[in-house]
Structure 1
Amino acid sequence: MKKIAFVRTRYLPPSETFIYEELKNINTVKPIVFSRKKMNLDRFPYSDIRKLSHGTNNIIKRFRQEKIKLIHARFGNAGVRLMEVKRRTRLPMLTSFHGFDLPVKRSRKNLYHRKLPRLFRIGDRFTVPSFHMRQKLINWGCPPNKINVMYSGIDLKKFTYLKRDLKTENVVIIAVGRLHKKKGFRYLLKAFKQVVVQYPTSRLIIVGEGAERGKLTELISALNLKKYVKLEGIVTHSQMSAMLSQADIFCLPSVTTKEGNQEGIPNAIKEAMATGLPVVSTLHGGIPELVADESEGLLVPEKSVKLLAEKIMYLIENPSVRREMGQKGRAKVENSFDSSKQVRMLEDIYKELMGDNK
Structure 2
Amino acid sequence: MKKILHAGNNLKGKQANPTYISFLGPKLEAVGFTLYYTSQKQNKVLRLIDMLLSVYKYRAKVDLVLIDTYSTSNFYYAFLVAELCNLLKTPYITILHGGNLPKRLDKSTWKSKRLFKHSKLNIAPSKYIMHEFKKRAYSNIKFIPNALNIEKYEVTERGCERLKLLWVRSLTPIYNPDMALEVVRLLQNEGLDVSLTMVGPDPHNKFEELKETINNKKLRIEYKGKLKQEEWYKLSENHNIFINTSNFDNMPITLIEAMALGLPLVSTNVGGIPYLIEDGKEGLLCNKDDALTMVNCIKKIHKNPDLRQSLIVNARSKAESFSWQNVKALWISALA
Which residue identity lines up with residue 2 of structure 2 in the other structure? K
What TM-score does the superposition give when structure 1 sets the normalisation length?
0.81
Tell me the residue number matched to 2:296. Answer: 310
Q: Does the CA contact (< 8 Å) of 2:246 and 2:270 recur in 1?
A: yes
Question: Residues 332 and 219 (structure 1 numbering): CA distance in 2 closer, same or farther, change over 3 Å?
Answer: same
Question: Residues 281 and 220 (structure 1 numbering): CA distance in 2 closer, same or farther, change over 3 Å?
Answer: same
- Unpaired segments ≥5 residues, structure 2: none
Quote the Cα distance in structure 2 between the aligned partners of 1:303 and 1:9: 29
Give per-residue Cα distances to partners, 1:12-69, cap 9 Å, x unaligned: 5743343322111112311111225179xxxxxxxxxxx985596x54541235x111
Find the partner of 2:27 among 14, 25, 28. 25
1:87-166 → structure 2 map (5 Å cutoff): 87-99=86-98, 102=101, 104=103, 114-138=110-134, 141=136, 143-144=138-139, 146-165=140-159
Is 1:348 aligned to residue 333 of structure 2?
Answer: yes
Q: Does the CA contact (< 8 Å) of 1:163 and 1:323 recur in 2?
A: no
Give per-residue Cα distances to partners, 1:108-154, cap 9 Å, x unaligned: 6xxx6642221123112111221222233345x4522x111221112
SS in 2 for 1:221: helix
Q: By how many angstroms is 1:194 displaced?
A: 1.5
Question: Residues 61 and 275 (structure 1 numbering): CA distance in 2 closer, same or farther, change over 3 Å?
Answer: closer
Which residue identity lines up with residue 178 of structure 1 in the other structure? S
Q: Does the CA contact (< 8 Å) of 2:41 and 2:50 recur in 1?
A: no
Quote the Cα distance in structure 1 between the aligned partners of 2:320 and 2:27: 17
Q: Between the two proteins, what is the percent identity of the paired residues?
A: 22
1:36-47 → structure 2 map (5 Å cutoff): 37=41
Quote the Cα distance in structure 2 between the aligned partners of 1:117 and 1:9: 23
What TM-score does the superposition give when structure 2 sets the normalisation length?
0.86
SS in 1 for 2:266: strand
Count of residue correspondences: 322
Q: Does the CA contact (< 8 Å) of 1:250 and 1:272 recur in 2?
A: yes
Find the partner of 1:70 among 49, 64, 74. 64
CA RMSD of aligned residues (A): 2.6
Find the partner of 1:35 among 17, 26, 39. 39
1:274-285 → structure 2 map (5 Å cutoff): 274-285=260-271
Find the partner of 2:240 among 236, 240, 248. 248
Which residue identity lines up with residue 207 of structure 1 in the other structure? V
Give per-residue Cα distances to partners, 1:315-356, cap 9 Å, x unaligned: 122233222211111111102x213432331221010xxxxx
- Unpaired segments ≥5 residues, structure 1: 40-50, 256-261, 352-358
Give per-residue Cα distances to partners, 1:209-243, cap 9 Å, x unaligned: 22332332222223221xx1111111122211111
Which residue identity lines up with residue 4 of structure 2 in the other structure? I
Q: Does the CA contact (< 8 Å) of 2:9 and 2:21 recur in 1?
A: no
Q: By how many angstroms is 1:298 displaced?
A: 0.7
Using CA pairs below 8 Å that are at least 6 residues apart, which structure has the higher relative contact order? 1
1:49-64 → structure 2 map (5 Å cutoff): 58-59=53-54, 61-64=56-59
Quote the Cα distance in structure 1 between the aligned partners of 2:151 and 2:189: 38
